[in-house]
Amino acid sequence: WFCLDWFSVVLQSSNSLKASYEDWLLTYGLSVSPFHLRWQTALFNRQFYNWGRWKPKFLYLWFSVGMVFGVVAMFGSVLLLGKTLLQTLTQMLTEAPNAQNDRMLQVVVSVPSSGLCLRAVPGVNLPISQLTYFFSAILISGVIHEVGHGVAAIREQVRFNGFGIFIFIVYPGAFVDLFTTHLQLISPVQQLRIFCAGVWHNFVLGVASFMVLFLLPAILFPFYYTGVGALVTEVAEDSPANGPRGLFVGDLVTNLQDCPVYNVEDWNSCLGDISKKSQVGYCVSAATLQQLSFPARVYRRLDGTVECCSNNSLTDICFSYSNKLDSYLYACLPARKVIEASKICRTNMDCHKDFVPSFCVTPSLENQTRLIRVKHPPHIDMLYVGHPMHLQYTVSLSSFVPRQNFLSIDLPVVIETFCKYLISLSGALAVINAVPCFALDGQWILNSFLEATLSSLIVEKQNRELIGFLILLAGSALLAANVALGLWMVTAR
């Protein structure tokens, strides 16, 4: 941006090049300002006019429904932002340690002069690897939003000057250029149809994306099947699941401990249950226990748990079990031999079978650490020791298994992820733009709504404008407070 702005300033300061540079910008519809690049064109005007004149009765009904939605969304967005602000303040005052775990994506909103930009903090609340989805979803949501305004304006006989896109810092957006005089001459209800069309189209885009996401198994059924497990699509280099006996791309996970896995949701649910519940044990006969165990020094860790194996051991784990006197004993055992072909148990009572003396031996691990058996046939089971969430965050999976080897295992994941971003960001654009705030669609929706409803009750236009100004001031303050606290929550903490 520095180079671009410096280059533009130099050309505009040159007496010999200034005229040519400005003519070149005008010819191609370009505009350059600090951290802002804008392009406008009339190339799509014919297409917009074709859309605006297609089935007038249907478009009238379409944008009338959108008008009702926009007005409801304006009031709803205030309630939603108010509730969000109260929740954020409550979280700040109580300093809830686990509140951050529930935040999938916290969007920080900023409003540049030429449009709305939804902003996340890369590397803090948005993975760098998903920036392509993020920016693409913002651009598409912005384009659909502005197409709504443009088509509705043409439907209401407002002159359409052009369509354009812009980049503000690194965030893309779109805009339409309408003839302001025509816009001011039409009735307030007609204005409402135009101003509400953007949030209405964003809502429709979000619903359409949700339907694609919901119906994706049926859409991809000829090429992919589901319900048989979770397919590994990526294992991070620093993942504890990486290694010769770990997980590999293309493996199909079917079980975590005794929890069956049929899709990615089951994988996440099973890991969540494993992290919340206590460590499961394994039934081992007294004879096998005596054969496998070997003498070892027992000592307590700082958290109170017991260790009885060498710290250098990669195959042995300290197990605890209770005898008939209900006192705990400890044995250092080879983990794989204990777990394979063993029944999962919670107490010794679960292991009584055929009068063979057996014990329920439980791994003696540090707090929050679990021993997890991951089944991914036909490969040997992976034995994972660590925090369950580390396994969840470093292994990417898909619920879709290709029917043919040449089909990409990443395609369903790409579609799923992109639909989720469209739902999130298009919905966010609809909510934020509906807020009665200066420089957003909500400002014009509010003004037209007040003119349409209060003109007979409050005759003086000056008084109506004062009421609108006070509401806009309150809405702007509410949005600014949410933005400031949201930015603090995703950065300072």
pLDDT at 118: 41
In which region does residue 400 sit, left (phi positive, over 0), alpha (psi from -120 to 50) or beta (all else)? beta
In which region does residue 386 sit, left (phi positive, over 0), alpha (psi from -120 to 50) or beta (all else)? left
pLDDT at 493: 58
Q: Is the pLDDT of residue 287 over 70?
A: yes
Give the model confidence (pLDDT) of 1-34 as tens digits.
999 999 999 999 988 899 999 999 999 999 999 9
Task: Tell me which residue has tokens 């969840």.
Answer: 392
Q: Measure the CA–CA gap between 246 and 405, rounded to whole angstroms.
A: 22
In the chain, what are the domain boundaries?
52-91+115-216+418-492, 224-278+370-402, 280-364
Give the model confidence (pLDDT) of 181-205 as tens digits.
999 999 999 999 999 999 999 999 9
Q: Measure the CA–CA gap between 291 and 285, rounded to whole angstroms.
A: 10
Q: What does the angle CA 256 – CA 262 – CA 128 come to, to the nearest 5 degrees?
A: 80
Mean pLDDT confidence for 469-488: 92
pLDDT at 3: 93
Contacts of 264 (CB under 8 A, 6+ apart): 230, 397, 398, 399
Q: Are 133 and 425 in contact (CB under 8 A)?
A: no
Q: Is 293 helix (H, G, I), strand (E, B) or coil?
A: coil
Contacts of 469 (CB under 8 A, 6+ apart): none
Q: Are 61 and 188 in contact (CB under 8 A)?
A: no
Q: Is the pLDDT of residue 122 over 70?
A: no
Give the model confidence (pLDDT) of 221-263 as tens digits.
999 999 999 999 999 988 989 988 899 999 999 999 989 999 9
Nearest CA among 466, 478, 438 for reference residue 78: 478
Give the model confidence (pLDDT) of 40-52 as tens digits.
999 999 999 999 9
- Residue 378 preceded by cis peptide, ω within 30: yes
Tokens of 492: 């300072």
Amino acid type, 31:
S
Q: Are 146 and 176 in contact (CB under 8 A)?
A: yes
Give the model confidence (pLDDT) of 155-171 as tens digits.
999 999 999 999 998 88
First to last CA, the chain: 29
**Which pLDDT band holds residue 117 (cuts at 50, 70, 90)?**
very low
Q: Is the pLDDT of residue 327 over 80?
A: no
Amino acid type, 425:
L
Mean pLDDT confidence for 74-84: 94
As a CATH number, domain 224-278+370-402 is 2.30.42.10
Better-predicted residue by pLDDT, 61 or 306: 61
Nearest CA among 424, 447, 443 for reference residue 104: 424
Which stretch of 162-166, 312-316, 360-364, 478-482 has the lowest confidence by average pLDDT? Answer: 312-316
Identify whether 146 is a catalytic site residue.
yes
Task: Tell me which residue has tokens 């991809």.
Answer: 220
Give the model confidence (pLDDT) of 353-409 as tens digits.
766 788 899 999 887 899 999 999 999 999 999 999 999 889 999 999 999 999 999
Which stretch of 116-130, 239-253, 405-419 has the lowest confidence by average pLDDT? Answer: 116-130
The catalytic position among 95, 146, 307, 366 is 146
pLDDT at 97: 43
Q: Is the pLDDT of residue 108 over 50?
A: no
How much is the pTM? 0.83
Q: Is the pLDDT of residue 107 over 70?
A: no
Give the model confidence (pLDDT) of 424-438 as tens digits.
999 999 999 999 999
**Which pLDDT band holds residue 124 (cuts at 50, 70, 90)?**
low
Mean pLDDT confidence for 323-336: 82
